[in-house]
Structure 1
Amino acid sequence: MYMNQPYSGYPGGQPPAISPDVQGWFQAVDKDRSGQISWEELQAALINGQGEHFSPTACKLMISMFDTDRTGTIGINEFQLLYNYINQWLGVFKNYDRDQSGSIEEPELAQAFQQMGFRFSEDFVKFLIAKSDLKNHQKMSVDQFIVACIQIQRFTEAFREKDKELKGEITVTFEEFLGIALNCST
């Protein structure tokens, strides 16, 4: 299971009513009172299980996913979608962080991906952790987990577009590969 891509439209053209909790969080995060939240404001508000702020990569990625008007910021309606999205991922993360350490170690991450339908090798899971945990290559924080899952989801969708016969293999030119990589990493 993986989270759906952010919703780009609203049923009936109307955004849902903003919950009081979301309104309170939005006001707390919107430090400059612009009515918009930048990735920097989001980063200042989000702390992972190690007591560190979410990475710039995670915050930029999440803002870009919900920034429907492409201003580099999100308003309160977009923030409500992001708030719900983050809470969904926190639920998934906590489900696999069995020892409640605030991070996911290799066996927990391997199980999470397996239950999401991915059959990654032990070496690939180690690679993902090493890529995300530059300090000691042993664990993945919630923000790193979110980034990895989003990137894997994007690449999976791009792969499926090319794998018309569902063989699990594709042939692409170098330019096609670069296009896929660049589209999936923004």
Structure 2
Amino acid sequence: MAYPGYGGGGPPPFGNLGHQMHMMGQAVGQAMAGMTTTTGYFGQPQYAAGDPLWGYFSAIAGQDGEIDAEELQRCLTQAGIHGTYTPFSLETCRIMIALLDIDHTGKMGFNEFKELWGALSAWKQHFCTFDQDRSGTVEPHEFSQALMAMGYRINHQTLSALIKRYSKNGRIYFDDYVACAVKLRALTDVFRRRDSMQQGFVNFMYDDFLQCTISI
């Protein structure tokens, strides 16, 4: 069964996207040139000094050797992934960490950071495809096209609700674009896992519903 609203055509929020990390990896390598830290934190494995992301990660991670939402926000703001140097959304950082946080510490280790960075690179390329005027934002009609390209088939009311939730002054910025796309994919995955018979509907107990959605 084809699930309405399942984003099968666009870049996944996280996954094996190593080849798509190249562009941002180069930028990080240039920004962090000269950093050769290889010492791991508290038993973490050591990484080759030639890995530009390890230098970036170790410069931003706290003494615990992990990155929390506030540290990730500073990292992404300094990297300029937003397209400007305005602060990257802290709420989006929390959402992304929650989806990667397997051990429920509220933080990311280096491997999780690399996975996230690759996903963000893919999202950025996807975003730029629909930012036709190169304004660093997408307009509602461009946003609708982007969702369709990801494979989502949502009705007008749902689209209007998403635009209202994620737009600022009628435009969607990159960090809000990522937050929306990741939430849509995560919620759809929750739905698909529960719809084992592929009937297009599921039943939730109240507490079960909260547990499935509260961290997304």
TM-score (norm 1): 0.77
- The residue type paired with residue 3 of structure 1 is P
Alignment size in residue pairs: 172
After TM superposition, the structure 1 stretch with the greater mean CA deviation from structure 2, 60-69 or 159-168, is 159-168
Runs of 4+ in 1 over 6 A off after TM superposition: none
Determine which of 12, 17, 20 is the counterpart of 1:3.
12
Letter in structure 1 aligned against 2:103: D
Q: Does 1:54 align with 2:88?
A: yes
- SS of structure 1 residue aligned to 2:172: strand
* SS of residue matched to 1:46: helix
1:78-109: per-residue Cα shift (whole Å, max 9, x none)? 21111112111111111221221111111111
Deviations along 1:29-66, one digit per CA (max 9) or x if unpaired, are 33x44422111011112232454222221111112222
For 1:145, the equivalent position in structure 2 comes to 177
Determine if contact 1:49/1:141 at 8 Å carries over to the other structure.
Answer: no
Distance 2:121 2:54 in 1: 15
**Aligned residue type for 2:208:** G
Distance 1:50 1:121 in 2: 32
Q: CA deviation at 1:161?
A: 3.3
Sequence identity, in percent?
Answer: 28
Alignment deviations for residues 140-168 of structure 1 (CA, whole Å, 9 cap, x no partner)? 11111111111111221222234455454
- For CA contacts below 8 A with separation 6 or more, give which structure has more relative contact order: 2
C-alpha contact 2:92 2:176 (8 A) present in aligned 1: yes
TM-score, normalised to structure 2, is: 0.68
Aligned to 1:156: 188
CA RMSD in angstroms comes to 2.6
Contact 1:36 1:76 in 2 (8 A): yes
**CA distance in 2: counterparts of 1:125 and 1:143, whole angstroms:** 18
CA distance in 2, matches of 1:110, 1:119: 10
Q: Retained in 2: the 8 A contact 1:55–1:143?
A: yes
Structure 2, unaligned runs of 5 or more: 1-9, 17-44
Q: What's 1:183 paired with?
A: 212
Q: Which whole-Å deviations, capped at 9, do the CAs of 1:96-140 have from their partners, x for residues lacking one? A: 21221111111111111111111223332222121123x42x111
With over 3 angstroms needed to count, the CA separation of the structure-2 counterparts of 1:152 and 1:76, relative to structure 1, is same
> Is 1:71 matched with 2:102?
no
Distance 1:38 1:115 in 2: 32
